[in-house]
């Protein structure tokens, strides 16, 4: 074969191979990168809010009642106790405002997480769906506590039996909800 024909054949062969390999190559879908700062943001939020919720319980339990009453309900909260509850409500809202801002990861981002977490000598796979569920539980319960405090303040601390039962339910659920959330996030 002469040289020009050989070069033309090599050019076609090389071009054909390039086209063939381009057509057969799998398209790589780039998955969004997991950002450590997102995990730190979630951890910081849960770490700060959960003890604040537990701190509310003693002041929710600080009701008084008629000295001659046969039962513990209905509850009455004096002015000092209502002020403490108002401060708890403001603290909960401040923690939420501080953490749940534009730097907090979006729900869709968290849902995609599959992260191996090491804490002390423990290691586990943190799955985003479980984290989202825990955060939703935490936020709903925080709203429930602030709603309960608002109710106490609205009625100047003088609750009826049904309202008193609502307060008792929140008191009883606080520790289990906090434990459930911390278990999901920190495996405590």
Contacts 24+ apart (CB under 8 A), 124-127: 124/187, 126/39, 126/185
- The SS3 of residue 92 is helix
Distance from C-alpha of 78 to C-alpha of 38, rounded to nearest angstrom: 42
Pair of tokens at residue 76: 């009455």
- Domain boundaries defined on the chain: 37-63+73-186
pLDDT tens for the chain, residues 1 to 188:
554 444 344 444 455 545 555 555 455 544 556 789 999 999 999 999 999 999 999 999 987 765 555 567 888 999 999 999 999 999 999 999 999 999 999 999 999 999 888 888 888 999 999 999 999 999 999 999 999 999 999 999 999 999 999 999 999 999 999 999 999 999 88
Distance from C-alpha of 55 to C-alpha of 84, rounded to nearest angstrom: 11
**Tokens 């046969």 map to which residue?**
70
């Amino acid at each position: 074969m002469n040289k020009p024909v050989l070069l033309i054949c090599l050019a076609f062969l090389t071009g054909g191979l390039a086209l063939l390999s381009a057509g057969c190559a799998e398209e790589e879908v780039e998955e969004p990168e997991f950002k450590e700062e997102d995990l730190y943001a979630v951890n910081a939020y849960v770490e700060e809010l959960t003890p604040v919720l537990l701190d509310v319980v003693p002041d929710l339990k600080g009701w008084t009642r008629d000295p001659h009453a046969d039962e513990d309900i209905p509850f009455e909260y004096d002015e000092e106790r209502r002020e403490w509850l108002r401060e708890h409500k403001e603290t909960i809202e401040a923690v939420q405002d501080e953490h749940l801002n534009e730097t907090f990861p979006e729900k869709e981002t968290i849902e995609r997480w599959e992260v191996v977490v090491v804490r002390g000598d423990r290691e586990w796979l943190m799955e985003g769906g479980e984290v989202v569920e825990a955060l939703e539980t935490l936020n709903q319960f925080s709203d429930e506590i602030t709603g309960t405090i608002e109710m106490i303040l609205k009625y100047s601390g003088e609750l009826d039996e049904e309202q008193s039962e609502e307060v008792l339910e929140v008191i009883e659920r606080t520790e289990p909800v906090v434990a459930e959330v911390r278990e999901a996030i920190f495996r405590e």
